[in-house]
Amino acid sequence: MTVRKNILAGWVAHLLTMIIGFFMMPYILGTVGEAQYGAWVFINAIAGYSTMIYSGFGATICRYVADSCSRKEWGKLNTIVSTIQTVYFGTASLVILFTSCCAWYAPMLQNWGTLPLGEIQGSILIVGGTIGLGMIASVYGGVLIGTQRLDVIRGIEMGMGILRLILTLVCLHERFGLITLALIFFVVTVVEHGISAYFAYRQVPSLSIAPWKAEYETLKECFGFSAFNAISLFAEYLIFFTDTVVIGIVLGPLAVVPYQIGLRIAQMIRAPIAQIGDVILPKAGELHARNAKLELGQLTAKAMGLAFLLSAGFLIGAYYFGNLLIHTWIGKEYTESYLVLVLLIASQLISLPMVVARNALVGTGRVRRQALIDLSEAALNLVLSLILIRYWGIIGVAWGTVIPLIGIELFVLLPYAMRQLEISPSTLWQEVLAPQIPAHVALIVFCEVASGYVPATGWIPLITVTLGGGAVLIAVRGLMELLRSRSTPNPVPGAASEALAG
């Protein structure tokens, strides 16, 4: 599979997932109520911290599988995957222990309201067990990603989205709502990883995973790479889960709901663009194995440009029509949710292109420096969120995410990534920034005109302006690319252009 085909497969899967998510969130909220839904989000945020003990091996397995496949070293591949899965058996035990402690201490948190404590504790235990099981079986998905079969991964995700929707519609009721949501999570996880295992063995017929194939020397080699990647993972979880946990502890689970609405939309927007980085990681591993530095830099710059084009386009759309989206989706206005949405998407203008650069660095084995940068960003995020929530509530928490993300990634991580990937300032301007500006200006003009005719709510006007804005963005960007190609005589296609266009 080429880079472009893998990206398109990811976007198709995300489109279906987003449509399902747009239906499910208001349905769940209306079925179980704000109190139970806020508690469910809070429980998942707390349990999510337990996955930090993946110890960074998730990216490690993708990187080393990609390297082994490019060299056709199948015995080494089996040793690596077996070693990492053996580690996961241990970390899964720690996950279950951690969530068991959370369930034990749950009654000490006084903000549960009238929710039954037994149901809360049972939900935490089920979620913890599910995360542990998924951790052990995640090596099969790592094999598929490492062999650049993200089309298979995305197909499985689409199927699981449909299964989750069906189970939610059939099984979810207000009574025992938390337990039901936890059990649906468990069933979908089991089915998802079972299918992933089946396709992993089909993709690599010589794949053989067993504890006795694990090797201490391989563990040392992987751990040397994973240790710093684990720091990045730890920082990522602090950034993405800190907001919800801080709000739940300081203001109570009910206050999580308006923040979660803005956050959920921002995550839906982030996911398809971040998938560009997911595709770049194994491709970077392959190019690094072939010592194709120039091609890797060109590919990374082109992918960063695509991420910048889309993230800025979504920011413009959210600024003009965010309230329309929230009102249409949830059924009533959430002013704070709109402000949270705009702030979080504004931060993605920087963070999403840097996701591409991050994954390119991981694919080449460079994780030490960016891990320390990520950790400093996460620590600053936590400190600012705890301070600003006292003054501005959930809006302060959003600012606590935005300020360190923009400051550190723009002025620290970006210069480092440019040096390591050999991306010059002129390349950054010519490939990442300049080609996207005319399309963004055209989109602003379109939104300015359309906003005068769009009502306050309604799916038809929302879909219309979304399609119209997307058409303007793509048409202008395509026109600029056409003019650019005509002004460049006798272009010589490289691996970067072939990978994105093949």
Distance of alpha carbon 249 from alpha carbon 241, whole angstroms: 12
Distance of alpha carbon 317 from alpha carbon 340, whole angstroms: 14
- Reported as a pLDDT band with limits 50, 70 and 90, residue 279 is confident
* Closest CA relative to residue 248, chosen from 35, 22, 479: 35
418: number of Cβ within 10 Å: 18
- Is residue 271's pLDDT more than 60? yes
Distance of alpha carbon 500 from alpha carbon 502, whole angstroms: 6
Is the CA virtual torsion 105, 107, 112, 117 positive or negative?
Answer: positive
CB 398 within 8 A of CB 384: no
Q: How large is the average pLDDT for residues 393-404?
A: 91
Q: What Cα–Cα distance (Å) separates residue 277 from each residue in 64, 154, 237, 305, 488? A: 17, 14, 18, 12, 28
Provide DSSP, 58-85.
Answer: HHHHHHHHHHHHHHT-HHHHHHHHHHHH
Q: What is the DSSP letter of 413?
A: I
Structure confidence by residue, pLDDT tens digits, 31-81: 888 778 878 877 877 766 666 655 556 667 777 787 777 777 888 888 888
Q: Which residues of 25-61 are buried (b: 16+ CB within 10 A; e: fewer)?
A: beebbebbbebbbbbbbbbbbbbbbbbbbbbbbbbbb
Distance of alpha carbon 145 from alpha carbon 139, whole angstroms: 10
| Residue reference for tokens 């990681």 | 281
Structure confidence by residue, pLDDT tens digits, 215-268: 877 777 666 666 666 666 667 666 666 788 788 888 877 788 888 888 888 888
- Reported as a pLDDT band with limits 50, 70 and 90, residue 343 is very high
What pLDDT, on a 0 to 100 scale, did the predictor assign at position 106? 79
CB 228 within 8 A of CB 367: yes
Structure confidence by residue, pLDDT tens digits, 146-182: 887 877 888 888 899 899 889 988 888 767 788 899 9
Structure tokens at 468: 């119209």
Distance of alpha carbon 397 from alpha carbon 242, whole angstroms: 9
> 166, exposed or middle or buried, with CB in 10 Å at 0-12, 13-18, 19+?
exposed
CB 45 within 8 A of CB 245: yes
Q: What Cα–Cα distance (Å) separates residue 500 from each residue in 6, 7, 280? A: 10, 9, 10
What pLDDT, on a 0 to 100 scale, did the predictor assign at position 314? 94
Q: What is the CA radius of gyration of the chain?
A: 23
State how far Cα 107 lies from the chain centre.
Answer: 32
CB 499 within 8 A of CB 3: yes
Q: Which residues of 178-197 are buried (b: 16+ CB within 10 A; e: fewer)?
A: bbbbbbbbbebbeebbebbb
CB 388 within 8 A of CB 259: no
- Reported as a pLDDT band with limits 50, 70 and 90, residue 305 is very high
Structure tokens at 189: 């996880």
